[in-house]
Structure 1
Amino acid sequence: MTSPLVTLNNGNKVPQLGLGVYQTPASDAGRVVFDALELGYRHIDSAAIYGNEREVSESIGKWLKSSGVPRSEVFYTTKIWNADHGYEKAKQAIKVCLEKAKSIDYIDMILIHSPMSDREGRLGTWKALQESVESGKVKNIGISNYGIPHIKELLNYSELTIKPVMNQFELHPWLVREELIKFCQDNDIYVEAYSPLARAKAFGNPTIVSIADKYKVTEAQILIKWSLAKNFITLPKTVSKERLASNLDVFSFELTEDELTKIDSLNSNLLTGWNPTEYPID
C-alpha cells in the first residue's frame, strides 16, 4: 500500500501522504522511518531543527539498499531553520543538509522553515535555495509557515527564477485557513498540511467519532482522509508501527460530500503549535 502521487508546479511528483518526524528523537528516527518505508510510506519530512536528519537519511539509504527500490521512489524533505536565513548562512546550511543526506545522494525538497527573520534574510535564503536546485543536488524548493504577505514578497522578488512548489503549514478541520489555502492554490503553490491530527487535542469529537464508527476506522484515519480529500499533501506523525500502518490505510473508503461538509463545519481556529504565518513583515 503506497500513497498516490500529486504533481507540483515544476512537473515533479510527490507522494500525497507522508510521515512527519518532528519530535521523533534521533535514537528512534531510524527505526520509525525504516518501519514506515516497509509499510509503504514513500515520503519522509524532516528539518534541521529536528536533530534527526542524518538518522532519517541513513535509514532511507539502508532501506533502499535492502529493498531494491529505486532512490527516485522515496521523497525526502528537510528545512532551513530561522537562524540560517540569509544568502551566505543558507548556503552553508544547505551544505550541512546535503552532508547529512549523503547516504541518499540528493535531497528531494528543502523548505524555508518559517518567515521569521527579515526581508533580506528570507530572500537571500531563497537565492541560495535556487542555486542548490541549479546544482542538481536539490530537486525542489518551497516554503513553510508562510502567510500571504510573505508569499507575495517572494513572488515579487526581482531575482526569483524558481517559484516555491509548496507551502507547508498547520492545517486540520479545526484550523481551516481558507484565505491562505486559496492564495496558495491561485498561485499554483501546493498546500501541505502538518499536524493534520491536531496533535490529538480534538479527539473524541462526536462528528469525527460517528463517521469513524460508520467506516470502522480510527479518528486519525478520518482526519487524514479529510486532508487528502481536500487535495492537500498531508503529514501525520507517529512512532508506533501499528499507527503507522493504520494512518496509511486510508485508501479503501471515501468520505461523502455530506460528511466532508460536516467536518468542514468544525473550524474553530484551533492552533496546536506556533503561528509564523502572522509574523510581521518588515
Structure 2
Amino acid sequence: MSSAKRALTDLLPLPNSNVKIPQLGFGIYQSKPEVCVNSCSTALRAGYRHIDSAQFYRNETEMGVAARQSGIPRSELFLTTKILSAGGSPEKTYQKCLESVKKIGAEGESDSPGSPSYVDLFLIHSPSAGSAARKEMWQALEKLEAEGRTKAIGVSNFGVGHIEELKEYARIWPPHINQIEVSGAYPALKRLALLTFIFQLHPWNQQRTIVDYCNEHKIIIEAYCPLVRNQKAHDETLLSISKKYDKTTAQVLIRYGLQKGWVSLPKSDTPSRIEANVDVYGFEIDDTDMTKLDDLDQGPAGAIVQAVKN
C-alpha cells in the first residue's frame, strides 16, 4: 500500500478468509469503566472503527455499549477481546469466551438486537498458563469460530515455539492473529498473510526472531502500545523528527507504524489526544527519518511490557 493512498478507512484483508482489519485501531487497556464508554465513543466519532479490549481489562461491556450507542452499523466495526485463563475444560473455557461475546453484544437484554452477537477477533491473551491451558483455550476459540461467534481467532504474546506447538492439535493454523510486544526496523510486508501478529511496536524494542518468523509466514503485524506509554516522549531523536514535521511525538510514532505496514492500536482517555491520534494521514516520514527511528533499537531492554520467549 503506497503512503499516498493511506487513509483512516484503510482495511487489511486476512487471506483465506473474508475478514478485513482496520489498520488503525483504538486500544482501551487501563481505560476504567467509568470513562471507557466516553473514550470509545470519542474514538468512533473521530473515525476509528477498530477497538481492542480483553477480559483482563474489565471493560468489554463498555466497549459494546459505545459500539451500540454510536449508531454505526455493526458490520462496519471491528471489535476484539481476549481470554487470559482457561476454565478447566474446553467446554468451560468456551463458555467463558461466549460470556464475553454476549456481554459485548448485550445479548439477552431487552434493547439487544435479536440476532446472536459476535466479535471480530478473539485472542488467547498470554501463553503463561502452560501447554495444557493453551490447548484448552485454543480448542475453545476454534469452537467459537466454527459457530460464527468470532470471525477470527489468534494469540497474544506467543513466541515461535508456542505457535509451532499449536500444530499438534489445531484445526486452524497458523492463528489469524498474534499480539506481542516488539518493535523495530523491519520493512512493510510485501504480502498480507493469514497470520496477523499484534505487537507492541515502537522503535526501541526489536524482537528479530519472532519478526523474522512473521516474515517467513507472510504475516501482517499489528502493534499495541505504539506510543510507548509516553516513556520516550523526551527522546532527542523523536523530538527532532516531531519538530521537523510539526507533529506530536505520538503522531510521529503512529505514522511510523503505518508506514511500516503495521496495524496500530494507540490508547488514550483524553478526548483531544484521541482525536489528534487519527490526524496522521497528512504527512509522510521520509526514508532518512524512518532509518533514524529504526536505529533507536535497544533490544529486550527497550521493552516496556514483555519480550516473547521463542
Give the structure-1-normalised TM-score.
0.91
SS of the residue aligned with 2:162?
helix
The answer to whether the Cα contact below 8 Å between 2:145 and 2:151 also exists between their aligned partners in 1 is yes
In the alignment, which of 191, 205, 210 is matched to residue 175 of structure 1? 205
Counterpart of 2:142 in structure 1 is 130
SS of the residue aligned with 1:129?
helix
- Cα separation, 2, equivalents of 1:244 and 1:268: 28
- Cα separation, 2, equivalents of 1:16 and 1:86: 35
1:250 deviates by: 0.6
Query: Higher helix fraction: Structure 1 or Structure 2?
Result: 1
SS of the residue aligned with 1:202?
coil
Code of the aligned partner of 1:252: G
- Cα separation, 2, equivalents of 1:24 and 1:203: 21
Counterpart of 1:93 in structure 2 is 96
1:152 deviates by: 1.1
The answer to whether the Cα contact below 8 Å between 1:16 and 1:234 also exists between their aligned partners in 2 is yes
The answer to whether the Cα contact below 8 Å between 1:140 and 1:165 also exists between their aligned partners in 2 is yes
User: After the TM superposition, which of the residue ranges 230-239 and 82-91 deviates more from structure 2?
Assistant: 82-91
Give the structure-2-normalised TM-score.
0.83
- Cα separation, 2, equivalents of 1:226 and 1:13: 21
The answer to whether the Cα contact below 8 Å between 1:2 and 1:42 also exists between their aligned partners in 2 is no
- Cα separation, 1, equivalents of 2:76 and 2:291: 34
The answer to whether the Cα contact below 8 Å between 2:8 and 2:281 also exists between their aligned partners in 1 is no
The answer to whether the Cα contact below 8 Å between 1:110 and 1:140 also exists between their aligned partners in 2 is yes
In the alignment, which of 143, 146, 155 is matched to residue 143 of structure 1? 155
- Cα separation, 1, equivalents of 2:253 and 2:221: 16
Is 1:234 aligned to residue 234 of structure 2?
no
Q: Count matched residues.
A: 273
The answer to whether the Cα contact below 8 Å between 2:82 and 2:123 also exists between their aligned partners in 1 is yes
Counterpart of 1:252 in structure 2 is 282
Unaligned runs of 5+ in 1: none
SS of the residue aligned with 1:141?
strand
- Cα separation, 2, equivalents of 1:230 and 1:110: 24
Q: How does 1:211-230 map to 2 (within 5 A)?
A: 211-230=241-260
In the alignment, which of 155, 160, 164 is matched to residue 171 of structure 2? 160
Percent identity reads 37
- C-alpha RMSD of the superposition: 1.7
1:47 deviates by: 0.2
1:228 deviates by: 1.2
4+ residue stretches of structure 1 with deviation over 4 A?
83-86
- Cα separation, 1, equivalents of 2:9 and 2:202: 19
- Cα separation, 2, equivalents of 1:48 and 1:118: 18
Give CA-to-partner distance per residue, 1:75-110, whole Å, 9 cap, x none.
Answer: 000000135475233212111111211248210100
Q: How does 1:10-49 map to 2 (within 5 A)?
A: 10-49=17-56
